[in-house]
A and B are shown apart, each in its own frame.
Chain A
Amino acid sequence: MGVFRMPSLGSDMEGGKLVEWLVAPGDTVTRGDVIAVVETQKGAIEIECFEEGTVRELQADLDQDLPVGAPMALILAPGEQDAAPTPEPPATPAKTPEPAFAKPVAVVAPTAAPPSGRTAASPAARVRAGELSVDLATLEGSGPGGAVLLADVEGASAPKHDKPAKRLGQMDEMRKAIAAAMTRSKQTIPHYYLSETIDVQPALDWLAARNEGAAPDRRILLGALMVRAAVLAAMKVKVMNGHFIDGAFHAADGVNAGVAVALRGGGLVAPALIGADRMSLDETMAGMRDLVTRARAGRLRSSEMTEGSITISSLGETGAEAMTGVIFPPQVALVGIGAPHVRPWIVDGAVAARTVVTMTLSADHRASDGRQAARFINDFETRIASPETL
């Protein structure tokens, strides 16, 4: 029997509020099934199951705030006999069925050292209790082993205090989430940057010819070419693709390309195109369309929020010509793509008007050096120059 816990939702999120259960006791689940929906600072996110088996019991209530690691459901392994649930020992994070690289999220969690001999409580509960001046020892915990959870603290304080989070609009919440992740990035990642301005005229001409006469569903955007080129470069220069966890860089097996999507009114989200290394250009485009559509509708999946191995952030068709981006931890590189601009350019020894794009690679000096970044950029540029090879 396994306890399914609230998974990490990315380095900038500490949890979410349960708004919908999509399974009931008795249902069978397999890896990747969406079992619940939580509302987060970045919109609703579908929580995927990491286990296989039969749901025995739902352990979280609707409207409950679930910090990362909070128990959500008891799941019986296939063939396992239904037995009386044994009481959970408090704090068994080792059992948390999270993807390995979701681990560093623990670092984001409030840093108050877990004091021994004090009331067991989740980190989020501890912080909120501090904010609300609630004594944890006076609370009855509803978590594993009687641990005090965030909801317990808020329940206790509700009659006396407004929740600070509730007074902030959702934008403020997203701002806070981005601020926390980016501050952590700048404080822990020794960024360095290399950039190159690339003639994209051949790519634009190729796209225009390809899209002419194509039904809208079959059209491809320059952005998809950029993502595809970055994915291919990441496969070649492996030190740009992976995660820096527990003091060491771990190269990813495939490429899950995080695609930054700007949200209306401000804020952004960077869900990953899972398995982008195995996609054709058409599939990359279709995958990006799907991600953007679901980002707008607030239906991204938990794995997409955590499993990115490199991020591509594009300023779109109009706007500034270059962007020096901040790496999304625990990733080690971000490709920033400026808006296309028409510039005087030397082509075959003569000046010509060409559309150019400036791409800037932000990389983590703990994982790589400038020479490798230069190889990445060189590979990217070569690919964009021959769009038919993408």
Chain B
Amino acid sequence: MTDPDIRAIYLEELVKIAPDLDAEDIANEDHLQDDLELDSMDILNFVSALHARLGIDIPEVDYPRIATLWQAQPYLLARLRDESGG
């Protein structure tokens, strides 16, 4: 799994949760809550979707680490490596 893969999956699942967003318009630094207006229920649905898709269980304390694409890519890659390595 590479950065572009993670990026594509992040955007794909995000747009499923918030169908009125357009993946093309989402910038690397757009914040899920502050810029894209996801509420807590949306965030939880997003985390669930990433869990189902990638097998990564993101605990509540780590939610801020997926708040933007920029932050999420290294975090998710590292978590994926942990899962496969451990």
Contact = CB atoms under 8 A, between A and B. Distances in A.
Interface of A: 208, 211-212, 215-217, 219, 221-223, 261-265, 288-289, 292-293, 296-298, 316-318
A170 to B, nearest CB: 10
B58 to A, nearest CB: 7
A306 to B, nearest CB: 23
Closest 8 CB pairs of A and B: A216-B48, A292-B41, A216-B47, A264-B37, A216-B51, A316-B39, A317-B40, A221-B40
Residue of B41, B44, B48 contacting most chain A CB atoms (<10 Å):
B41
A222 B39 CA distance: 12
A262 B36 CA distance: 13
Nearest to A297: B19
A272 B14 CA distance: 25
Contacts of A208: 60
11 contacts: A208-B60, A212-B59, A216-B51, A223-B41, A262-B39, A264-B36, A264-B37, A289-B45, A293-B45, A296-B20, A316-B40
B71 interface: no
B48 A296 contact: no
Interface in B18-54: 18-21, 33, 36-37, 39-42, 44-45, 47-48, 51
B51 A215 contact: yes
A84 B19 CA distance: 45
A301 B48 CA distance: 24
A217 B20 CA distance: 23
B41 A289 contact: yes
Contacts of A292: 39, 41-42, 45
A232 to B, nearest CB: 21
Q: Interface residues of B toward A: which range?
A: 20 to 34
Contacts of A262: 37, 39
B4 to A, nearest CB: 25
Contacts of A264: 18, 20-21, 36-37
B67 interface: no
A221 B18 contact: no
Contacts of A298: 19
Given A211-B60, A223-B41, A298-B19, 17 more contacts: A216-B44, A216-B58, A217-B51, A221-B41, A223-B40, A264-B21, A289-B44, A289-B45, A292-B41, A293-B45, A296-B17, A296-B20, A296-B42, A316-B39, A317-B33, A317-B40, A318-B33
A219 B45 contact: no
Interface of B: 17-21, 33, 36-37, 39-42, 44-45, 47-48, 51, 57-60
Contacts of B45: 289, 292-293
Contact of B18 (A217, A289, A296, A316): A296
Nearest to B59: A212
A217 B44 CA distance: 8
Contacts of B36: 264
B56 to A, nearest CB: 10
A86 B54 CA distance: 60
A171 to B, nearest CB: 11
A289 B49 CA distance: 13
A219 B44 contact: yes
Nearest to A262: B39
A289 B42 CA distance: 8
A293 B42 CA distance: 8
A265 B41 CA distance: 17
A298 B48 CA distance: 21
B1 to A, nearest CB: 20
Contacts of A217: 48, 51
A125 B20 CA distance: 32
Nearest to A298: B19
